[in-house]
Chain A
Amino acid sequence: AQSVTQLDSQVPVFEEAPVELRCNYSSSVSVYLFWYVQYPNQGLQLLLKYLSGSTLVKGINGFEAEFNKSQTSFHLRKPSVHISDTAEYFCAVSNLTGGFKTIFGAGTRLFVKA
C-alpha cells in the first residue's frame, strides 16, 4: 500500500520569495510521483511528474521538484512566487501496475501575499 504525507497544511509566503512544499511518501513498490495544483473554482492541473531518469523534474509555471529515493521525498520548489500561485497543491503517487490509481496527500494551501 502507498501513502502520501504533505507536511504543511498551509504555507503563507510573500510575493517574490522562494517556497518549498514538502511531500513524503511511503510505498513497498516503485511508484510514479506527481504534483497537482488546484486554483480556486477549478479542477486539478498537473504541475509536474517523475516517472524515471533525472531526479530533478521541471514543471509548468516555474515549479520544480526533486525526487529523493533514500528519503522518500518529492518536495516542490519555486524560487520566486507570484500572487497568481495562490492555490492548493497536491502531492500524489501512482503505482506502476494494477491500474495506476493515484493516492493523494491532504494538500497544502499556498497563500502568496503582496
Chain B
Amino acid sequence: EAGVTQFPSHSVIEKGQTVTLRCDPISGHDNLYWYRRVMGKEIKFLLHFVKESKQDESGMPNNRFLAERTGGTYSTLKVQPAELEDSGVYFCASSSQRPGLHEQYFGPGTRLTVT
C-alpha cells in the first residue's frame, strides 16, 4: 500500500511568487490534514478536509493560503504571494473515517524556502 506522498520535496521561491504544494493521501482515506513546521518551532495544524469539504481551517495563517481538495482525492495548498515567514516544512497526513482507525499517516513533507 502506497503511503502519503507530497510534491515537491523542496521548493525555493522568491518573496512575492506563488507556490503550490500537492498531497496525495492513502487511497480510501477521507480525512486529509495539512500541518506546517516553521524552523525551530512546533508542528502546527493548518486545516482538515473530510473528502472534499473543509472540516476545520482554523489553523490557516491568513488569506494568502488556499487549500483545495477537488473530488476528495489529492489536495493542493497554494501560497500566493509567498512571504519570508512562510518558509518551513509543510506536512500532509491522512486517516480513515472508519470508527477506531484514527491514526494519521504523514507524508515526508515539502520544505519551502522563501528568499
Contact = CB atoms under 8 A, between A and B. Distances in A.
Interface residues of A, number: 22
Contacts of B95: 100
B106 A44 contact: yes
8 contacts: A32-B102, A44-B91, A44-B109, A46-B103, A99-B50, A102-B104, A104-B35, A104-B42
A106 B48 contact: no
Contacts, number: 53
> Could you say which interface size class chain B belongs to?
20 to 34
A94 B48 CA distance: 13
Contact of B107 (A43, A98, A103, A107): A43
Interface of A: 4, 32, 36, 42-46, 49, 51, 90, 94, 98-107
B45 A36 contact: no
A107 B42 contact: yes
Contact of A43 (B48, B56, B103, B106): B106
Contacts of B35: 102, 104
The dominant DSSP class at the A interface is: strand
Ranked nearest first, the 5 interchain pairs of A and B with the lowest CB-CB distance are A43-B108, A44-B106, A104-B43, A106-B42, A101-B45
Interface string B20-56: 0000000000010101000001111100101000011
A101 B44 contact: no
Contacts of B109: 43-44
A106 B44 CA distance: 10
